[in-house]
Structure 1
């Protein structure tokens, strides 16, 4: 049964999970500056207002991932 246990463990480890181990909670998306290709995870932003891009200073756009992976990339 060692081989079957190994295969089972491998498949469980490679399955997609929305829990990425972030102690801050689950991300809902990320803020993007498409001109500068800058990205900030929503968990890294304080408040309800979109953050300014650190490169150009323009307001960043919030985007959600259409998938169920919990990642906005």
Structure 2
């Protein structure tokens, strides 16, 4: 049973932290959306405080805050 326990522990450990791989000092507050094109840019990927332009149509994107506490602005 040692192999099964090890595999079970490995899968449990891989799902423990929803923010793994991200900078723990910065937490996402939402994302910028272009509703016409359906493009999304996470707020952590934007430099400065101004809303970015959509890379497809050039319109200013809209900021929407994350409702959940999962760290995702989905």
Same fold (TM over 0.5): yes
Cα deviations by residue, 1:2-40 (Å, 9 ceiling, x for unpaired) = 56676565445334x452321372211110001101111
- Flag structure 1 segments of 5+ consecutive residues without an equivalent: none
State how far apart, in whole Å, the 2-side matches of 1:25 and 1:11 are: 25
Q: Give TM-score, length-normalised by structure 2.
A: 0.72
Residue correspondences, number: 72
User: CA separation in 1, counterparts of 2:30 and 2:20?
Assistant: 13
Any unmatched runs of 5+ in structure 2? none
Question: Retained in 2: the 8 A contact 1:18–1:68?
Answer: no
